[in-house]
């Protein structure tokens, strides 16, 4: 039996989902993906080519929402998969449309939860390793990070993940990290060395970014606009930004037009803003998407967000 795990690359929930999969299936191959079309094509290709193989295949996809624009190609791939007795299990906590669920359900075991109170690692634990104390602990830790509860200590893994995403071999680094975590190693000398290098890059960027914050009042909501950096872990940094500015919400904008949204209180839901963006998604506490305006013009970014918030 061949097992392949596809998980979200960008945070603790995605990596821990993969680690929980690895506790259950230590022989599994791991892939870490983002929300681009190319990423989803990797899933499709892997499933498509396995339909020829003699050996049984299980594909587990975790912490990735469905890309509705790829529905028909996914469906035909899943169809071939079912014929060859391969299995696909999709474990996710992002919102799925009813139409997609209906279309995909005949071919795929769907473990979905859109209650907004569970992270993907918890769903992985419940589906694959219920009663395994270590998997349960990992799922709890992922929950703590995903929902900002601060109820448990975790080593600076969120920042290590952020750091590794900057490398050409990020995939190997994340795969190694997920494997270590599956074996109970949440910190070691390699991570410690990497973290020391990371801190220098992070702190240089933080200084630069904090120098040109912009705060704007929109509909009685104080929104702070922050330039994003590949060395800054957005959720952690948003706390610092909120402490400094006391803003209600923060928009982190990058060169490519992608933005991340975080909030300081429940005056606004981050995903409500994200739903008005290109490829927008997320949950109440954290969401993101791509802007339509020129990413190099802050005034344009601000006015696009203004229009969205006025609409809500």
Per CB under 5 A, residues contacting Mn ion are 13, 63, 120
CB 98, min distance to Mn ion, A: 21
- Joined tokens for residue 159: 């920042």
Tell me the closest approach of the beta carbon of residue 16 to Mn ion, in angstroms.
9
12/305 with CB nearer Mn ion: 12
Least Å distance, CB 83 to Mn ion, is 31
Measured from the CB atom, the residue of 7 and 57 that comes closer to Mn ion is 7
User: In terms of CB distance, is 13 or 159 closer to Mn ion?
Assistant: 13
Closer to Mn ion by CB, 9 or 13: give it: 13
Smallest separation (angstroms) from Mn ion to the CB of 12:
9
Nearest residue to Mn ion by CB is 13
CB of 141 to Mn ion, least distance (A): 13
C-beta of 156 vs 282, nearer to Mn ion = 282
Length of the chain equals 312
Nearer to Mn ion, 35 or 253 (CB): 35
Phi, psi of 253 (to 5 degrees): -115, 140
Rounded CA-CA distance 17/38 in Å is 21
CB of 3 to Mn ion, least distance (A): 21
What pairs with residue 105 in β-bridges?
none
The residues near 8 (Cβ < 8 Å, ≥ 6 apart) are 14, 17, 32, 33, 34, 62, 63, 64, 120
């Amino acid at each position: 039996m061949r097992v392949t795990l596809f998980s979200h690359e960008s945070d603790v929930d995605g990596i821990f989902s993969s680690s929980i999969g690895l506790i259950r299936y230590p022989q599994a191959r791991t892939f870490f993906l983002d929300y681009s079309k190319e990423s989803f094509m990797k899933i499709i290709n892997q499933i498509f080519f396995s339909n020829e193989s003699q050996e049984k295949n299980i594909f587990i996809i975790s912490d990735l929402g469905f890309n509705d624009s790829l529905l028909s190609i996914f469906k035909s791939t899943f169809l071939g998969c079912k014929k060859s007795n391969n299995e696909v299990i999709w474990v996710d906590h992002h919102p799925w449309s009813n139409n997609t669920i209906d279309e995909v359900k005949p071919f795929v075991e769907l473990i979905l939860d859109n209650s907004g109170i569970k992270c993907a690692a918890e769903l992985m634990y419940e589906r694959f390793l219920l009663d395994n104390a270590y998997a349960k602990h990992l799922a709890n830790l992922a929950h703590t990070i995903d929902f900002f509860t601060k109820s448990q200590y975790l080593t600076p893994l969120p920042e290590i993940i952020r750091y590794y995403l900057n490398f050409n071999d990020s995939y190997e680094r994340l795969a190694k990290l997920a494997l270590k975590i599956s074996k109970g190693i949440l910190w070691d000398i390699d991570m410690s060395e990497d973290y020391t290098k990371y801190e220098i890059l992070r702190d240089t960027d933080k200084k630069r970014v904090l120098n040109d914050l912009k705060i704007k009042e929109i509909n009685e909501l104080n929104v702070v606009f922050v330039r994003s950096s590949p060395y800054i872990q957005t959720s952690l940094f948003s706390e610092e930004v909120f402490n400094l500015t006391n803003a209600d919400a923060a928009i982190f904008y990058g060169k490519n037009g992608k933005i991340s949204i975080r909030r300081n209180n429940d005056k606004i839901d981050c995903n409500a803003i994200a739903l008005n963006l290109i490829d927008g998604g997320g949950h109440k506490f954290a969401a993101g998407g791509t802007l339509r305006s020129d990413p190099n013009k802050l005034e344009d970014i601000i006015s696009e967000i203004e229009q969205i918030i006025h609409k809500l």
